[in-house]
Structure 1
Amino acid sequence: MQHRLRDVMALVARLVVGATFLAHGYQKFVLYGMDNVVASFGKMGLPAVAAWFTAIVEVVGGLGLILGVLLPVAGVLLAAIMIGALFTAHLSGGFFNSDGGFEYVLVLAATCLALGFSGPRYTLSGLFKGNSAKVEQPAA
């Protein structure tokens, strides 16, 4: 029972964090427009490729977390863009998010790594490998 509950909670966390990244990617592509995002990144001294990479990773990585596909890759890439955001946009703001600090991006980076290596249960990958529906037997 404990293992099943842990796996369900990992699924809930993947859905919430994945949807958050998907929303941020959508925001960059649709609401702001990539020309504006590239210009914003440029003001921080970052190249256009960083803006595009970030937006694509947010969309694809967010979907990866939601669906449970290539979780380690999605987790590492999402964590990497959050660490990049920490050093390029948030470090000078101190720790607290309310002051523009790095608190939020640091939590997201750690969460993405944890979720990326959380295991195959309740994932699309696990379903195709036969791990999603496997019921663990209690120890004798």
Structure 2
Amino acid sequence: MTPHLHRAQPYALALFRIVVGLLFACHGAASIFGVLGGARDGGSIPAGTWPGWYAAVIQLIGGALVALGLGTRLAALISSGSMAYAYFTVHQSHALFPLQNGGEPSAIYCWVFLLIVFTGPGALALDGLFTDRAPDRQDRDHTAEQNTPVAA
């Protein structure tokens, strides 16, 4: 990887995380509040309806947390799991492949959020305000010490 791309990687991950989180939160807001075109029928899902309303809550809260970079890995893991559940309980029974059963968004979101679990939030995440950055500095300092020539 070129040095320029390597330096931009945390910001590319942040942009990816923010866009995905916002899109996911919009799905939840549409289902809960009937905004942005509403749920499938143009309205909102009645509160407490299983599993749609609970999925919408996960979408709204999980998407917002991922977009903000707050509790990113946990929010992404729960969001990924909810989309896996949606795919296997709602879509899989209609046909085998996502293109055939209408489950493409669920499948894609499932894998995208799983990727965020492993890559982390990238730059510009609120998680950085609450976590100790000392281990990162220690790793860099240790690496720098290893690469520094010893004077004889």
Instruction: Tell me the number of residue pairs that the alignment of Structure 1 and Structure 2 aligns.
Output: 127
In the TM superposition, what is the alpha-carbon distance from 1:69 to its structure 2 partner? 0.8
For 2:70, the equivalent position in structure 1 comes to: 69
Q: Over alpha carbons, which structure has the higher Rg?
A: 2
CA distance in 1 between counterparts of 2:91 and 2:121 reads 33
Farther-moved stretch of structure 1 (81-90 vs 115-124): 115-124
Change (3 A) 1:113 1:78: same
CA distance in 1 between counterparts of 2:104 and 2:82 reads 14
The 5 Å alignment of 1:32-111 reads 32-35=43-46, 48-91=49-92, 92-97=94-99, 99-111=100-112
CA-atom RMSD, angstroms? Answer: 2.7
Q: For structure 1, which runs of at least 5 residues remain unmatched after alignment?
A: 39-47
CA distance in 2 between counterparts of 1:4 and 1:130 reads 21
Which TM-score applies when normalising by structure 2?
Answer: 0.69
More helix by share: 1
Q: For structure 2, which runs of at least 5 residues remain unmatched after alignment?
A: 35-42, 148-152
For 2:10, the equivalent position in structure 1 comes to: 7
For 2:131, the equivalent position in structure 1 comes to: 129
CA distance in 2 between counterparts of 1:85 and 1:120 reads 24
- Counterpart amino acid of 2:106? V
In the TM superposition, what is the alpha-carbon distance from 1:76 to its structure 2 partner? 1.2
Which TM-score applies when normalising by structure 1?
Answer: 0.74
